[in-house]
Amino acid sequence: MLELVNLSAGYGRLPVLFDISLQVGPGEVVALLGPNGAGKSTLLKTILGVVRPRAGELEWEGERITNAKAADRVALGITLCPEGRRIFKNLSVKENLLAGAFGRKGSVTDAQLEVCFEIFPRLLERCSQRAGSLSGGEQQMLAIGRSLMAQPRLVLIDELSMGLAPLIVFELVRKVRELGDAGLAVIVVDQFVKTLEDCADRAYVLDKGRMEYAGALKGATEVLEQAIGA
């Protein structure tokens, strides 16, 4: 279980997140919504530990990790599938996946790769292919697969559907639900409530660095529209 209590964070002197409280437990898929610049990516980076909190507390599986380094958090089971995917285009699919296991103690086992291939059979078919030659949807599968390589118990997915066609988004959403059903905790960011309808158990809406809503996905629409319209 991840718990954020009154967390504030920012970049240098610039405050971005104010007084954020959030919880997510095993098997739960939680949507994090909000307009451009709301602080969604910053919040995920703060949970991962690449942005340092200025106030508040962060607890993970009963342990206080407010000031723990990102590498230590990966070892504790928290990984990020970043905005824009950030795959290594000149490396193969398999090499990209192996990079995701970096920082995890011990050697990478075939079993870890198999977990990815089981969820995304398309990655197995394209195992030795240059990652840059994959379609956008396949690149997103690769980015999610890579974030699974460190055997996380919490996965943070930034901008799941960005730039992708509806059919592939539908497939990705199903996969995210499968991750939740397999017992992982997932926080998934998207611009649209509708995208996450079939995978998220509940939602948070962030606006101008403040958490404006926490609750059922349905109720998030109105808050999000207000935030975008404001």
Ligand X SMILES: Nc1ncnc2c1ncn2[C@@H]1O[C@H](COP(=O)(O)OP(=O)(O)OP(=O)(O)O)[C@@H](O)[C@H]1O
Q: Rule CB under 6 A: which residues touch ligand X?
A: 11, 14, 16, 34, 36-42, 83
Contact call for residues 4 and 78 (beta carbons, < 8 A): no
- Does residue 161 touch Mg ion according to CB under 5 A? no
If contact means CB under 5 to 8 A according to the sort of partner, which of Mg ion, ligand X, none does residue 19 touch? none
C-alpha closest to that of 159 among 137, 188, 186:
188
The CB-of-34 to ligand X minimum distance in angstroms stands at 5
Of the two residues 40 and 146, which places its CB atom closer to ligand X in the complex? 40
Closest CB to ligand X among residues 16, 65: 16
Q: Which of Mg ion, ligand X, none does residue 36 bind (CB under 5 to 8 Å by kind)?
A: ligand X
Asked if residue 202 lies in contact with residue 216, where contact means CB atoms within 8 angstroms, the answer is: yes
- Residue 42 neighbours by CB under 8 Å, 6+ apart: 9, 10, 11, 16, 17, 51, 209
CB of 13 to ligand X, least distance (A): 10
Instruction: Select the binding partner of residue 152 from Mg ion, ligand X, none (C-beta < 5 to 8 A, by kind).
Output: none
Bridge partners, residue 5, by sequence: 57
CB 152 within 8 Å of CB 184: yes
Per-residue H/E/C for 132-181: HHCCHHHHHHHHHHHHHCCCCCEEEECCCCCCCCHHHHHHHHHHHHHHHH
> Least distance (Å) from Mg ion to the CB of residue 26?
25
Sort strands 14-24 and 185-190 into parallel, antiparallel or unpaired: unpaired
Choose between 20 and 150: whose C-beta lies nearer to ligand X: 20
Binding partner of residue 169 among Mg ion, ligand X, none, CB cut-off 5 to 8 Å per kind: none
Show contacts with Mg ion in window 32-51 (CB under 5 A): 40-41
For residue 14, the partner it binds in ligand X, Mg ion, none, with Cβ less than 5 to 8 A by kind, is: ligand X
> Which of 37, 132 has the CB closer to ligand X?
37
Give yes or no for residue 83 binding Mg ion (CB under 5 A).
Answer: yes
Nearest residue to Mg ion by CB is 41
Dihedral over alpha carbons 90, 94, 96, 102 (to 10 degrees): -140
